[in-house]
């Protein structure tokens, strides 16, 4: 109860970034282990943190990690038995788990892998795989996705900004990127070049 209240107050009053929330979970979330350079949205649900191990560079996007079978209470009472069904969730290095994905007990997610949005993972994910669907199945390889995204990125009008951007998100240039993308996607009256000139001419607001 004390942890739950502390977590609620932290989210409400601090508005943590995903990186800050991962650090909060490292210190107070009672996970078995969490590596470096991780991030997770505060809306991520981890039902049994003691059984969760996360490697380095793991990123969780409003997903759910379930470490126990909730039907046990009903089965024990209905059948007069004493059952137990709890399992670990072991996440390797360099893993992304997408929005709405559910990871069930006794699952190991190999390094350099991606779990797609909405996937329900009931079995182990092999190293380098992209999985999706219900139940989750391999739908691609991360190495191939990287090559595809590199080609796509080089083809867009704002590729030079991406190449020089600090990290995956730079608030200093994000407004310009949004304008360039909108002009490109929807064919606004201003061309991407004009949008770039307009955005650059606007004063930067520092908080």
The 10s digit of each residue's pLDDT in 131-152 is 999 999 999 999 999 999 999 9
Confidence of residue 203 (pLDDT cuts 50, 70, 90): very low
Alpha carbon distance 54, 179 (integer Å): 37
pTM of the model: 0.84
Same domain for 92 and 182? no
Q: Give the tens place of pLDDT for each residue, 95-125.
A: 999 999 999 999 999 999 999 999 999 999 9
Q: What percent of the chain lies above the pLDDT cut of 70?
A: 86
Are 25 and 39 spatial neighbours (Cβ–Cβ below 8 Å)?
A: no
Q: Contact 90/50 with Cβ under 8 angstroms?
A: no
> Same structural domain for residues 114 and 184?
no
> Looking at residue 1, what is its pLDDT?
43
What average pLDDT does the chain have? 89
Q: Is 51 in the same domain as 28?
A: yes
Instruction: Band the pLDDT of 9: cuts 50, 70, 90.
Output: confident
Task: Assess whether 191 and 114 both reside in one domain.
Answer: no
pLDDT at 204: 46
Q: Is 10's pLDDT higher than 90?
A: no
Structural domain that includes position 193: 156-201
Any idea what the CATH number is for the domain that residue 121 is in? 2.160.10.10
Q: Are 68 and 84 in contact (CB under 8 A)?
A: no
The 10s digit of each residue's pLDDT in 20-67 is: 999 999 988 889 999 999 999 999 999 999 999 999 999 999 999 999
The residue with tokens 């190495």 is 143
Alpha-carbon span 169 to 148, nearest angstrom: 20
Range in 89-93, 104-108, 154-158 the model is least confident about: 154-158
Same-domain check for residues 99 and 191:
no
Q: Is residue 150 part of a domain?
A: no
Residue finishing a domain among 118, 141, 164: 141
56-60, 162-166, 175-179, 180-184: which has the highest mean pLDDT?
56-60
Same domain, 84 and 54: yes
Q: Specify whether 174 is located in the same domain as 128.
A: no
Residue 3 has pLDDT above 70, yes or no: no
Number of domains the chain is built from: 2
Is residue 146 assigned to a domain?
no
Look at residue 116 and tell me if it is in a domain: yes
pLDDT at 29: 86
Same domain, 160 and 119: no
Domain identity same for 194 and 106: no
Domain boundary among 111, 141, 171: 141
Residues 40, 106: one domain? yes
Q: Are residues 126 and 174 in the same domain?
A: no
| Residue 98, domain member (yes or no) | yes
| Residues 75, 45 share a domain | yes
């Amino acid at each position: 109860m004390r942890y739950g209240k502390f977590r609620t107050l932290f989210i409400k009053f601090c508005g943590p970034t995903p990186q800050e929330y991962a650090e909060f979970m490292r210190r107070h979330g009672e996970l078995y282990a969490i590596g470096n350079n991780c991030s997770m949205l505060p809306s991520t649900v981890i039902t049994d943190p003691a059984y969760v191990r996360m490697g380095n560079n793991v990123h969780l996007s409003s997903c759910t990690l379930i470490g126990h079978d909730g039907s046990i209470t009903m089965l024990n009472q209905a059948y007069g038995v004493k059952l137990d069904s709890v399992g670990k969730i072991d996440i390797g290095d360099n893993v992304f788990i997408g929005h709405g994905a559910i990871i069930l007990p006794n699952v190991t997610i190999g390094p350099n892998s991606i779990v797609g949005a909405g996937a329900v993972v009931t079995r182990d994910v092999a190293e380098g795989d992209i999985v999706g669907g219900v139940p989750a199945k391999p739908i691609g390889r991360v190495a191939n996705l990287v090559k595809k995204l590199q080609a796509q990125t080089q083809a867009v009008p704002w590729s030079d900004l991406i190449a020089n951007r600090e990290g995956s998100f730079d608030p200093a240039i994000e407004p310009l990127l949004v304008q360039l993308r909108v002009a490109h996607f929807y064919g606004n009256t201003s061309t991407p070049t004009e949008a770039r000139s307009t955005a650059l001419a606007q004063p930067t607001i520092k908080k």
